[in-house]
Structure 1
């Protein structure tokens, strides 16, 4: 029996100079997730590793990412690989490191 959970939809600001162009985002997804990227209207969909479905779109100048993961796998290597690819994608797409994204999220919560 597979156990799935969904991460709440996350929005990420783009660093100055990083275009909110969905075609650029598509290229970054392809670099990080070799399983293939599908299009569904204005959304990009990816399935890779423990990510059973990831939906990526733009909301103005913000990147919107919604993921569904299969947590039932016991393969630590697969989990680590998937998480690394996800973090790499976010850095390529937004221009911000994980540490910078965390700092922004804390700042947004305190507003």
Structure 2
């Protein structure tokens, strides 16, 4: 499971996350116990929840997906994460490294 921090000013409301998920990864969204779950493109399962003021994401990939489907899914997922957290991929990587080092 990956955890992502929210940039200051970005709402941690699950309904906002649901709207962004529907916009970027248009698939049937199941909501149960505060968790959102979808199956889209190269992702056989994507589960999202908000825990301790962080966006928690669990993914399972479809290993047999075609390259173009994988590329499209990854692009859409990165856009979703940026819109949800307020951080670009580069900023998320920098924060993750900082969290691991404990600085």
Task: Mark yes or no: TM-score above 0.5.
Answer: yes
Say how many residue pairs are matched: 102
1:61 aligns with 2:44: no
1:85 aligned residue (76, 79, 87): 76
Task: Give the structure-2-normalised TM-score.
Answer: 0.95
Q: Quote the residue 1:6 is aligned against.
A: none
Q: Quote the residue 2:42 is aligned against.
A: 50
Deviation per residue, 1:63-86 (Å, 9 max, x gap): 00000111122x111000000011
User: In structure 1, how many angstroms separate the alpha carbons of the residues matched to 2:9 and 2:29?
Assistant: 24
User: In structure 1, how many angstroms separate the alpha carbons of the residues matched to 2:6 and 2:73?
Assistant: 22
Gap regions ≥5 residues in structure 1: 1-8
Q: Quote the residue 2:100 is aligned against.
A: 109
**For the aligned residues, what is the CA RMSD?**
0.8
Task: Give the structure-1-normalised TM-score.
Answer: 0.89
Deviation per residue, 1:48-95 (Å, 9 max, x gap): 01100000000121000000111122x111000000011011001000
1:36 aligns with 2:28: yes
Higher strand share: 1
Gap regions ≥5 residues in structure 2: none
